[in-house]
Each structure stands twice: as C-alpha cells, then as structure tokens.
Amino acid sequence: MPFVEEQLERARDLIGRDYWPYGVAANRHVLEAFLAHHHEQGLSRRQVLVDELFHPSTLEVFHI
C-alpha cells in the first residue's frame, strides 16, 4: 500500500496515537453514550449499564 506510513502518521496527528482503543475502560464513555441514546430512542425499556453488557467472567479474565 503506497504511502501507508504517511497516512498512518496523519491519522495519529488527527485523532491521537490510540485511535482504536480496546477494552471497556478505554471505551466506557462511548458505550455509555450509545446506551443512553438506545434508551432515549425507546429501543430499551430501561437505561442499561455498561457493566451489564458483558458476562462478569469476561471482565475478570481480560481485566477490561
């Protein structure tokens, strides 16, 4: 892919070094916004919490 290094550097300059974060902690604010909009639009009967999205053992194993 031509100019991949330059494109990668431009992306990092624009949106930061960690532009694709993994894990619940790094994405909690995004997940909370998603769940709030989900509820506001009537797609869920109640406001679901981020910690309810994943089985507890998953959170423990991956230290998310």
Domain boundaries in the chain? Answer: 22-64
Predicted structure pTM score? 0.68
Nearest to 47 by CA among 61, 62, 64, 35: 35
Buried b / exposed e along 2-39 (16+ C-beta atoms within 10 A): eeeeeeeeeeeeeeeeeeeeeebeeeeeebeeebeeee
Which two structure tokens, joined as six digits, stand for 27? 């994405």
Give residue-wise pLDDT tens across range 3-61.
899 998 998 999 988 888 888 888 999 999 999 999 999 999 999 999 999 888 877 66
Give the largest CA-CA distance in the chain: 49
